[in-house]
Amino acid sequence: MKIFSLLTAVILLIAGCRPSDKISQVVGVGKAPTLENTRWTLTELNTQPVSIETKPYLVFAAKSMVLNGFGGCNQLAGSYESSGHKIKFNNIAATRMFCQETMQVEAAFLQGLQSISHYRIEGHELILLQDNTVVARLRAVN
């Protein structure tokens, strides 16, 4: 009986010590992000840091293969095809508002997306590439 009670106590202690995603999120260390269903915020475009206040972002929907996001001024949407680490963006469209401070970044971001051939994820960073050239770096926000 004592062995059973001791074994039960050890099992409960071990189960209570497993890592929690909520604790990880509070201290800023989350699970490794995946391409889909993660909000990716633009941090660098064509080797230049993105310094506008409202950062552009992308969200990839796995089931529908739809891309949604924000370019810095306008909402954007389109579709994408992905196989392994290859990726291609299709039919990207954006709303048509004009924002003097962010239009240059948005135009370069949208143009850059058209040239992407593949991606890689390193930690919490999504790197979009055209062949071997880094076009954009984005950071997971979720």
> Does 17 map to a domain?
no
> Does 102 map to a domain?
yes
> Does 97 map to a domain?
yes
> Does 101 map to a domain?
yes
Is beta strand 86-94 parallel, antiparallel or unpaired with respect to 66-70? unpaired
- Burial per residue of 31-54, b for 16 or more beta-carbon CB atoms within 10 angstroms, e otherwise: eebebeebbbbbbbbeeeebeeee
Side chain identity at residue 47, one-letter code: T
H or E stretch covering 140: strand 133-140
> Does 124 map to a domain?
yes
Give the domain range for residue 80. Answer: 30-140
Check whether 78 has a pLDDT greater than 60. yes
> Does 35 map to a domain?
yes
Check whether 23 has a pLDDT greater than 90. no
Residue 108 sits in a domain whose CATH number is 2.40.128.270
CA–CA separation, 76 vs 71, rounded Å? 7
Say how many domains are in the chain. Answer: 1
Confidence at residue 21, expressed as pLDDT on a 0 to 100 scale: 42
The model's confidence at residue 15, banded by pLDDT at 50, 70 and 90, is very low
The model's confidence at residue 31, banded by pLDDT at 50, 70 and 90, is confident
> Does 8 map to a domain?
no
CA–CA separation, 63 vs 99, rounded Å? 33
> Does 95 map to a domain?
yes
Q: pTM above 0.85?
A: no
- 91 — alpha (psi -120 to 50), left (phi > 0) or beta? left
